[in-house]
Structure formats: C-alpha cells, structure tokens
C-alpha cells in the first residue's frame, strides 16, 4: 500500500501506528444487557436508524434534540451551511448558563447536587469541611449570579473576553457559568501553562480581565498562579483588572502580592454582589468561548465555539455516550480532565449539568497522597461514570492492580477514554481491574475543534473492540481518504475527514481566517481535515492512528513541535532546534529535542537541565523535553527542510544510554542530505 501524503502532512509520521499496526483485533465485547435495558440508545439497530436519520434529515434529528433544552426564542432554521461556515439553530436565542442551572431549578430540582468538589489536601481520615464541597443547583444559581454581577460591576460587557487562569476549584466552574450568563466569552488557560503563555493568550484575545487564584495544589505543593499572572502582566498592558480567589489562604506561610487599583479579592467583590442576575438571551451564534490549542505552525490558536450548537451537541453526547440519567439520584459523573482543556469544558461542565446529573471535580494528582487516590474517590462518592485518559491508565497499570483492589468500585457503570489512542493492553487492564469486566468502555475520539465526541461507542448499543473508537456519533459523516480526497478501502490507512458540519464544529480561529481555511479546509477539498490518520476495519470500526502533522500528543495534551522549538531557540545558547515525538511508556508520546549550539557553547549535562527548565518556563511543565540530544548540525534536505522522519526514527529507535553529552553524529547520514525527503 502506498503511503498517502499531502503537503505539510505526513502519514508516515504516525507515532502510535505501531500499536494498531493493521492487525484485526479479535476480542469483541458486546454491550452488557444490564446497560442496554435502560440505555438511551439500546441496540445497534436503533443506532443505525438514528444515524441514518441524523445524516439524511439533520433538521429533524437536531431540531428534536435541541427542543429538549430551553430557548428564549426558537430558531428559524436548524442549519445554514456555506462551506466552510456553518450556522446552527439560526435565529434562536438561548443561554447555556440558564440551561446548566436555571432550567433545573425551574423544574423543582434546586436541592439536587450539581457539583461535588474535592480538593487535593482533603483527607478522609481527618476531613476538613472546606476541602469537600457540595453545591446544589440552588447554590450554583446563587454563586453564579453573584459572580456574574461582579463581572458586570467590573465593567465586563457582553462579547468581551474574560480570561480564567485557575486551579480545579468550584470557583472555576462558577466563573465560566457566570461568563456564559452575561454573554462574555471566556478564555480558560490551563493552570499548568507559564507566564509567557498567559501573556500570548491575553494579547491575542485582547482580554482586559483575568480571574485567577492565589494558588492551587498539585502533589502536595502549592502552584503559585497569581505569581504567574503578575509575571505575565509585567510584559503586557492589555489586562486592567485581576480578580484573585484566595484558595490557599496563607497556609504554610504561602504569600501572594496584590496590586492596588488592578487586583481585587474574590471574597470582597462577592460580599457586595446581588444574587439575582437574569441570564442574557444569547444568539445561537454568539461566541461562547475561545480555547487555545496547538497547531503545527505558529503560536497556539484561539478556537471559537458559539452558543446554540455547542450546547445541543455537548448535551446530547454527554447524554448518549455516558448514558446519563438525570432522574437517577445515584448518578455521579467524574471526568478527571482539567477544565483548562476542552474535555473539561464539555464533559465536566457544559454537557453534564444540562443533563441534571451531579458532576465531580477533583483538584489534585492521582497519586496524592497515595497511588489509590482515584479509587478512593470513586468508592467514597459512588461514581457511576468515569472518564479519563490512556496516559493515566498506563500509570495505574504501572502502580499495580492491588491499588484498585483496595476499594469497592461496584458503583461504576461506564468507563471512558479520551485524548490519544488507547493501546489494547491498557484497554484490557481498564476493563478488568477498574470496570470489573462489566462496564462498557467508551473510547471517544474528538478534538478541541470539534467541541464534542465524534467517533465513539454508545454503551448500550455498540460492541466494543480494544483500541478502536468504533462508530461515528449521530450526524458525523466520517471518511478515510487519500490526498486526492478519494475514499480508501477497508483497513487502508489514510486521512480522517468529516464531510458534513455538526452543531459544535469550530466557527473559526480568533482573528485568523486564513489559518482557519488553510489548517482545516485546504488539505482535502470540501472536507474538514482533522489532522489525524486512521483506518476503518471490515466491521466498519474506526482506528485512529495519531497525528499526521507536526502536532504531538504528550500524555493526552496537545503540543506543537514548533512551539517547543521556538522555546528552545529563545535560549541564548541554542542555534537551532528540531523537536519530534517518540514513543513513551506512560505518556504515549514523549518529546525528543535535537539541538545545535551557538559557537563556543559546550554541550553539558547542566545545559541540558537548563534548557529543559527553560522550556518549562516558556510554555509549561508539560512541554519539557524527555530527551535533549546535542548535534553539530541538523540533517536537512537540499532545500533546507529538516528531515523530521529521520529524527523521529532516531528518537524512537534508540534509548540514549551512557554518556548523553556526546554529540549526535549525523555525518554518516551525509548522503541522505542530498536526497530530498519523500
């Protein structure tokens, strides 16, 4: 089979292809009867019927589902599609904060628990009430209304971007719902990103206000968030107002500074705020949020999602994929992602709350204070739906099955996986040791750009296969094609594209129409190009193989190799850098950096450490290279292009052992330099 290839993307780049290597997986797991019986979608026949309807008659399918939610004004048309621009529920007026909260209160469910939060310092043996919080829909309505009034009192108007840089505390959900309530799009920055990442994002979004916290907890240590904001604001004057939630409250002598006139304490503002703030009727196509994500070139791009379509799609995928039943008081949904990523936006907050189900938020790390923290949480809170990433599952495998065995996990009904391909070994371990061989696993393929699940099993209908994300969700018209857009036969690897718009499709990249057109709409004519390689097997199941562009997935976190390269070359000792992904036992993909130094700079172990920390400072700890390899020159084609495939092979082929300061000798590859890379 020839390798399909398009300009700028490279199917040969598939880092994780090896784990699925084209072999047909023979283990199959039919949906358990206990789940199918009460599931929203009960059988493959029902899936097929609904899928057909969703593709052939999207107006009917989506119109009926949207009607389950609250609208101030019903839409005039379900869809307007002028490639590549889609508008959904055109002319409709709604509010997502209203649908997450008020709709439940109106239905008499105000006393139902909406959010359960546990802080990392919480100790079940010595409980401190402030570290375990339960908010009912009534509580949420009060707190969100108050914070919405706080934002208004600070001058925030409809359409103005509010940046949130917070730990995983309930106030993060409160702040985002407050933004949605008044129609101020939020831009959430993951708390692991550094000061310079904050600066870039607030400048790009022209965001005049940041909501942050003094700090958060991670593995027993305080992450000083306010200090990172202060550092970022020394090099930009876009931000005029900072709101600080004092979470750590000086514990252990922890300090943070407040700048008069600019900084306000959350508690001071909330004390004065009214708890009545009607939700603003928003147009379906009004901007709901921006979320920055990495691409193959340039700085992270601000992906735009709008109100109506995103609301309906995340509501429905949450409902069907996790089979949520708001009428069941035992339902407890736990998505372990950070809200700073799209998974947290959609499947901790926006898709779950409209389903009238309690959502669990946990602030800390899975091994704090011990390796069984997650299993302890599941037991104590009787979690029913659990959604995590393969990288976490591989870490759990390493820590051993005795950890989950210490706990009663019998409340679990459905398990989910997201962020990167799940290797069949991890899938089987998850199935046996967490799911007790009875819980269906939904391996959900999707992206920041797609807003919600795209290819995924439905737990009551789909026969699952370890390593495959199985079938497209309703309305998703997926195809595997070659560079000319021709559909490929079963089992042939090619580019994953989507041929029709879906409600939560990105509406663009903030301020960069050209990049939007080029990245998603120019590789394969007439289709949304996802940037992933995949194949479909003889049963019609999809197998996502990984990125085919210069984006890598490190522990399920998306990074552009170019971002890491830019961070490296901003160090005074570095002349050139090339970054590639390499297989990593826990992270899935690790980061390998090949670096040439400026004349007179010595390739020492100290310098390696310094460069690693420099990348951490420029981007965040998640971007720190796993390997730095010094070289005299980078292997390049005659036209000067770095031969990445060669570097990938080198990075994945050999462990660097012994004297790691030795220069990489590419002279043996000299003859390759004369051959332009295929």
* Shortest Å, Cβ 454 to ligand PRX: 9
292 contributes a contact to ligand PRX by CB under 6 A: no
Q: From the list 421, 460, 493, 620, which residue makes contact with ligand PRX (rule: CB under 6 A)?
A: 421
Among 163, 464, 553, 561, binds ligand PRX (CB under 6 A): 553
**Of the candidates 200, 99, 210, 97, the residue with the CA atom closest to the CA atom of residue 156:** 210
**Position 531 contacts ligand PRX (CB under 6 A):** yes
43 to 39, 245, 310, 438, 469: CA distances (angstroms): 9, 47, 26, 17, 17
Q: Whose Cβ is closer to ligand PRX: residue 209's or residue 321's? A: 321
Instruction: Candidates 368, 447, 522, 570: give the one binding ligand PRX (CB under 6 A).
Output: 447
The verdict on 549 binding ligand PRX (CB under 6 A) reads no
Is 440 an interacting residue with respect to ligand PRX (CB under 6 A)?
Answer: no
Does 558 participate in binding ligand PRX (rule CB under 6 A)?
A: yes
Task: Decide: is 468 part of the binding site for ligand PRX (CB under 6 A).
Answer: no
Distance in angstroms (rounded) separating the CA atoms of residues 145 and 152: 11
| Residue from 331, 420, 563, 618 binding ligand PRX (CB under 6 A) | 420
Q: Which stretch binds ligand PRX (CB under 6 A): 1-9, 112-120, 401-409, 541-549?
A: 541-549
- Cα–Cα distances (Å) from 142 to 20, 135, 417, 571, in that order, read 49, 10, 34, 48
Residue 221 token pair: 């240590």
Q: Which tokens sit at 600?
A: 């007179």
* Contact present, 135 and 115 (Cβ < 8 Å): yes
- Sole window of 159-167, 221-229, 414-422, 584-592 interacting with ligand PRX (rule: CB under 6 A): 414-422
Query: Per rule CB under 6 A, is residue 532 in the interface with ligand PRX?
Result: yes
- DSSP secondary structure letters along 545-604: EEESSSEEEETTEEEEHHHHHHHHHTSTTEEEEEEEEEEETTTEEEEEEEEEEPTT----
Q: H or E element: which one contains 475?
A: none
418 touches ligand PRX (CB under 6 A) = yes
E runs forming strands in 51-141 = 77-82, 85-90, 93-94, 113-118, 132-136
Q: Is 293 in the site for ligand PRX (CB under 6 A)?
A: yes
Q: Which is closer to ligand PRX, CB of 547 or CB of 673? A: 547
Write the interaction track for ligand PRX spanning residues 243-282; mark x where CB under 6 A is met and - where it is not.
----------------------------------------
Looking at 294-428, which runs of residues are DSSP E strands? 301-306, 332-335, 358-362, 385-388, 414-418
Q: Does 343 bind ligand PRX (CB under 6 A)?
A: yes
Considering only 6, 296, 444, 631, the residue that binds ligand PRX (CB under 6 A) is 444
- Contact between 544 and ligand PRX per CB under 6 A: yes
> Is residue 446 involved in binding ligand PRX (CB under 6 A)?
yes
In angstroms, the CA 662 to CA 465 distance is 45
Stretch that binds ligand PRX, among 83-91, 225-233, 262-270, 546-554 (CB under 6 A): 546-554
The helix-helix angle for 605-618 and 561-569 (nearest 10°) equals 120
Alpha-carbon gap, residue 605 to 596, rounded angstroms: 14
**Cα–Cα distance measured from residue 567 to residue 420, given in angstroms and rounded to the nearest whole number:** 24
Count of residues that bind ligand PRX according to CB under 6 A? 23
With both helix axes pointing from N to C terminus, report the angle between 58-66 and 307-321 in degrees, rounded to the nearest 10.
Answer: 80
Task: Tell me whether residue 447 or residue 570 sits nearer to ligand PRX (CB atom).
Answer: 447
Piece in contact with ligand PRX (CB under 6 A), picked from 108-116, 126-134, 164-172, 545-553:
545-553
Look-up: residue for tokens 């708890």? 275
> Is residue 519 part of the contact set for ligand PRX (CB under 6 A)?
no
Q: How far is the CB of 467 from ligand PRX (least distance, A)?
A: 9
Q: Closer CB to ligand PRX, residue 346 or residue 627?
A: 346
In whole angstroms, the minimum distance from the beta carbon of 533 to ligand PRX comes to: 9
For residue 471, the minimal CB distance to ligand PRX (Å) is 13
Instruction: Among 39, 229, 409, 469, indicate the residue that binds ligand PRX (CB under 6 A).
Output: 469
Q: Whose Cβ is closer to ligand PRX: residue 269's or residue 339's?
A: 339
Which of the stretches 132-140, 356-364, 501-509, 530-538 binds ligand PRX when contact is defined by CB under 6 A?
A: 530-538
Q: Name which of 342 and 393 has its Cβ closer to ligand PRX.
A: 342
The answer to whether the beta carbons of residues 376 and 396 sit under 8 Å apart is: no
What are the CB-based long-range contacts (under 8 Å, 24+) for 285-289?
Answer: 285/87, 285/88, 285/90, 285/507, 286/159, 286/183, 287/159, 287/185, 287/507, 288/96, 288/180, 288/185, 289/176, 289/179, 289/180, 289/185, 289/186, 289/187, 289/188, 289/345
| Residue with Cβ nearer ligand PRX (423 or 596) | 423
For 66, 189, 219, 259, 618, the CA distances from 203, given in Å and listed in that order, are: 35, 13, 31, 20, 16
Q: Does 419 bind ligand PRX (CB under 6 A)?
A: yes
Neighbours of 597 (CB within 10 A): 20
Which residue ranges make up the site for ligand PRX (CB under 6 A)?
293, 342-343, 417-421, 443-448, 469, 530-532, 544, 546-547, 553, 558
């Amino acid at each position: 089979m020839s390798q399909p290839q398009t300009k700028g993307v490279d199917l040969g780049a598939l880092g994780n292809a090896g784990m699925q290597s084209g072999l047909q997986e023979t283990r199959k797991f039919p949906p358990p009867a206990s789940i199918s019986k009460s599931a929203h979608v009960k059988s493959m026949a029902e899936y097929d019927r609904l899928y057909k309807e969703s593709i052939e008659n999207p107006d009917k399918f989506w119109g009926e589902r949207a009607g389950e939610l609250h609208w101030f004004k019903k839409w005039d048309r379900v869809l307007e599609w002028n490639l590549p621009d889609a508008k959904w529920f055109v002319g409709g007026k709604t509010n997502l904060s209203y649908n997450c909260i008020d709709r439940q209160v109106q239905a008499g469910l105000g006393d139902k628990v909406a959010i359960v939060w546990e802080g990392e310092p919480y100790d079940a043996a010595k409980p401190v009430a402030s570290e375990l919080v339960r908010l009912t829909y009534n509580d949420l309505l009060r707190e969100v209304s108050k914070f919405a009034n706080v934002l208004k009192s600070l001058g925030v108007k409809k359409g103005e971007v509010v940046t949130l840089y917070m730990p995983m505390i309930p106030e993060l959900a409160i702040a985002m719902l407050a933004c949605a309530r008044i129609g101020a799009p939020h831009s959430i920055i993951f708390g692991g990103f550094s000061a310079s990442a904050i600066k870039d994002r607030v400048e790009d979004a022209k965001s005049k206000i940041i909501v942050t916290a003094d700090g958060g907890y991670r593995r027993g240590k305080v992450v000083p968030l306010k200090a990172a904001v202060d550092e970022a604001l020394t090099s930009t004057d876009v931000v005029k107002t900072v709101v600080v939630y004092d979470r750590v409250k000086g514990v252990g002598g922890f300090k943070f500074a407040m700048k008069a006139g600019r900084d306000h304490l959350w508690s001071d503002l909330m004390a004065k705020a009214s708890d009545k703030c009607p939700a603003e009727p928003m147009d379906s196509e009004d901007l709901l949020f921006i979320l920055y994500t990495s691409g193959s070139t340039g700085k992270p791009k601000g992906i735009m999602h709008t109100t109506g379509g995103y609301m309906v799609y995340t509501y429905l995928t949450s409902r069907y994929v996790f089979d949520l039943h708001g009428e069941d008081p035992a339902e407890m949904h736990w998505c372990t992602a950070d809200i700073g990523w799209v998974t947290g936006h959609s499947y901790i907050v926006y898709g779950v709350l409209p389903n009238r189900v309690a959502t669990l938020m946990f602030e800390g790390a899975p091994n704090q204070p011990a390796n069984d923290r997650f299993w302890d949480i599941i037991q104590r809170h009787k979690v029913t739906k659990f959604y995590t990433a393969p990288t976490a599952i591989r870490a759990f495998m390493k820590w051993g099955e005795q950890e989950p065995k210490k706990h009663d996990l019998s409340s679990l009904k459905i398990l989910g996986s997201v962020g990167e391909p799940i290797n069949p070994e991890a899938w089987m371990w998850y199935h046996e040791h967490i799911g007790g061989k009875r819980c269906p696993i939904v391996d959900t393929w999707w992206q920041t750009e797609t807003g919600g699940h795209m290819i995924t099993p439905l737990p009551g209908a789909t026969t699952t296969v370890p390593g495959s994300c199985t079938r497209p969700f309703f309305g998703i018209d997926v195809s595997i094609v070659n560079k000319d857009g021709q559909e490929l036969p079963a089992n042939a690897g090619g580019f994953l594209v989507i041929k029709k718009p879906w409600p939560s499709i990105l509406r663009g990249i903030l301020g960069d129409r050209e990049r939007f057109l080029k990245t998603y709409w120019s590789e394969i004519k007439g289709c949304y190009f996802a940037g992933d390689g995949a194949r479909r097997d003889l049963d019609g199941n999809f197998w996502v193989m990984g990125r085919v562009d210069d984006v890598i997935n490190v522990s399920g976190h998306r990074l552009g190799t170019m971002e890491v390269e830019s961070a490296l070359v901003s160090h005074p000792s570095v002349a050139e850098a090339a970054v590639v992904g390499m297989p990593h036992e826990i992270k899935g993909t690790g980061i390998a950096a090949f670096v040439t130094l400026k004349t007179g700079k010595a390739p020492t172990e100290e310098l390696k450490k310094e460069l690693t920390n420099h990348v951490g400072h420029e981007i965040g700890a998640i971007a720190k290279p796993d390997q730095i390899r010094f070289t005299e020159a980078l292997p390049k084609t005659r036209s000067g292009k770095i031969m990445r495939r060669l570097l990938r092979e080198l990075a994945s082929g050999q462990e660097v052992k012994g004297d790691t300061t030795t220069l990489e000798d590419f002279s043996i590859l000299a003859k390759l330099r004369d051959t332009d890379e295929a």
